[in-house]
Chain A
């Protein structure tokens, strides 16, 4: 009863927040809505006793990814008039594709294959299991290859972003901090007898 109430609260707020992301005119508001949406999604995970995944969602998406997102959005000067330009021109074809996709997805979803009858209710079996340990067990055995490849993908993303942005300019002056730190007062300072 209480659980159902919480489910509808989290789910409803998540949907509303998601709508807010798309509808709000101010990009910073959009990002705030997205953060709120993630929170509610995390709440849904908590209801499923998947507290590890729920907290990771907050820790990684809300705590780190969205901060950087917000950072970029705040710095950008988004030209809304420019974005709206051509909206009407592409509306017919875009709307048509969206409509077709929507109908297909509804048809696929309502065909009964994804109905709850086909999937047994797990109940609260996960309550007495230590989520973190169980995820660790499969992540480092069964899914080890995927885990390692994902790590390499992140490494490549890191290298790529540095390569594309790092620009050592010849006309700019740089501070060599280790030299600054290792300065010996004797080299700089001379005591003079007065």
Chain B
């Protein structure tokens, strides 16, 4: 008989991942034994999982980068910081779901899938090679497909899930195809080794590398909804249950931009000239699509979908800058975006009239008369999203704009500024509805202490980050130190 020994790899850096995976499975089973009136407990357990995982990540965080599992996993400050953002996104997503999903069946699977999706994102942020990247991506994507179509009796939810699934599969195909070209040239899945291989590749490899890079970028662009690969975003955002829309607008974008940064910084530095051109045009297109199409939307979820596209376009400036400030800027952007977007979605979920979820812009009419508190919070979020000075959103834009100007792309920064001004228009229009229009139908808020707390925390965070952006920017710069 063949005797084979299996050495146990270094599992310590993976403890948060393992914890989330085990808890996701445990919640799945536990929920079956919960009586109907106590189904909320699985949500609390999922929230606790995020909190504990965050604590574990903080405990493990160190300034060095640690490789584990034979180079299939990396733990560095960059990954740790991104993971904290992802935990926060999932945590808020669960909080928003508490009331929204109360009457749906199978809530245990719902929270379990959110945790599995979180696990996929965590693996993406810690991916030092293409295998982990792809597997993490698929894990995350599969969970989001299901979660988008969770209300399967709602036609547009199923439609959105199907669209998202088909386009997502296509994008995964693009990604794999690109990876296979890069693997064919360099013979390795490892980011760093592939980067060296590309730098030393001969002239005859140029065409294959270009093709590989284009497909790789296209696949990743799809995941973070960069135009022209953004088509799924408005439909998926509108069709998905609103808490899932909120969940999808943070975690997957964080994970997607993190792998974007890793791939650009580790694999493709030798092709910087080529990818900068591609990304510049894509960024302009993305900002244009995001900010112009949002104006025409009547549905707030669709509007926020285009707003996400627009914000990703701004965050791309950091990628194009391709220096430490730019990458740190992306992290800053994501951090601020987490709070302002979550807050806005919390308000949307709160808005309910006669039992029907308020999703149209008209539904906000006269909010300031009834609930000045909520109106103020929503105003803050929208001002911040628009990038009005001395709220969090301003600094997010400021950091990436400065970075891209330093990298020598002045015209790009000016274009972005222009689109930022266009974007302000549709945010301010919502504020007009809130403050200057008459209430038409009586409000019926879906309130709970946790929701109010979420609104309060996010609003305070947006203001605090706006007034004291220094610490956050410093942390982001420290987090990026291992990448460049």
Q: Which A residues are closer than 8 A to B by beta carbons?
A: 104-105, 107-109, 111-114, 130, 133, 136-137, 140-146, 149-150, 152-153, 155-157, 159-160, 162-164, 166, 168
Contact = CB atoms under 8 A, between A and B. Distances in A.
Contacts of A150: 135
B471 interface: no
A133 B1 CA distance: 11
B73 interface: yes
B208 interface: yes
17 contacts: A108-B211, A111-B204, A111-B205, A111-B206, A114-B184, A130-B2, A140-B6, A141-B70, A143-B70, A143-B131, A145-B9, A145-B72, A153-B139, A153-B142, A156-B146, A157-B142, A162-B109
A104 B207 contact: yes
B380 interface: no
Contacts of A111: 204-208
A149 B123 contact: yes
Indicate the member of B113, B119, B185, B208 with the most A CB atoms within 10 Å.
Answer: B208
Interface residues of B, number: 47
Overall SS of chain A's interface: helix
6 pairs of A and B residues whose beta carbons are closest in the complex = A160-B146, A108-B208, A145-B69, A149-B135, A113-B205, A145-B72
Contacts of B142: 153, 156-157, 160
A113 B208 contact: yes
A119 to B, nearest CB: 9
A108 B207 CA distance: 5
Interface in B191-242: 201-202, 204-208, 210-211
Contact of A146 (B109, B132, B152): B132
A136 B112 CA distance: 31
Overall SS of chain B's interface: helix
Nearest to A110: B207
Contacts of A137: 4
Contacts of B139: 149, 152-153, 156
B143 interface: yes
B28 A114 contact: no
A163 B207 contact: no
B150 interface: yes
Nearest to A153: B139
Contacts of B14: 145
Contact of B207 (A107, A133, A159): A107
A157 B142 CA distance: 7
Nearest to A113: B205
B69 A133 contact: no
Contacts of A156: 113, 116, 139, 142-143, 146
A159 B113 contact: yes
Contacts of B28: 159
A16 B135 CA distance: 32
A18 B229 CA distance: 29
A161 B63 CA distance: 41
Indicate the member of A142, A145, A146, A157 with the most B CB atoms within 10 Å.
Answer: A145
A163 B181 CA distance: 37
Contacts of B113: 156, 159-160, 163
B21 A152 contact: yes
Contacts of A130: 2
B138 interface: yes
B136 A149 contact: yes
Contacts of B210: 108
Contacts of B211: 104-105, 108
B35 interface: no
B134 to A, nearest CB: 9
A113 B184 contact: yes
Given A104-B211, A112-B204, A163 B150 contact: yes
Nearest to B143: A156
Given A149-B123, A149-B139, 6 more contacts: A111-B204, A113-B204, A136-B4, A159-B112, A163-B109, A164-B152
Contacts of B69: 144-145
A114 B105 CA distance: 53
A133 B4 contact: yes
A133 B2 CA distance: 8
B131 A146 contact: yes
B355 interface: no
A157 B143 CA distance: 8
B276 to A, nearest CB: 20
A152 B116 contact: yes
Interface string B1-36: 010101101000010000001000100100000000
A152 B136 CA distance: 10
B448 interface: no
Contacts of B204: 111-113
A157 B135 CA distance: 13
Contacts of B205: 111, 113
A76 to B, nearest CB: 15
B252 interface: no
B327 interface: no
A109 B180 CA distance: 12
Contacts of A155: 25, 116
B310 interface: no
A114 B208 contact: yes
B65 interface: no
A108 B181 contact: yes
B247 to A, nearest CB: 15
B62 interface: no
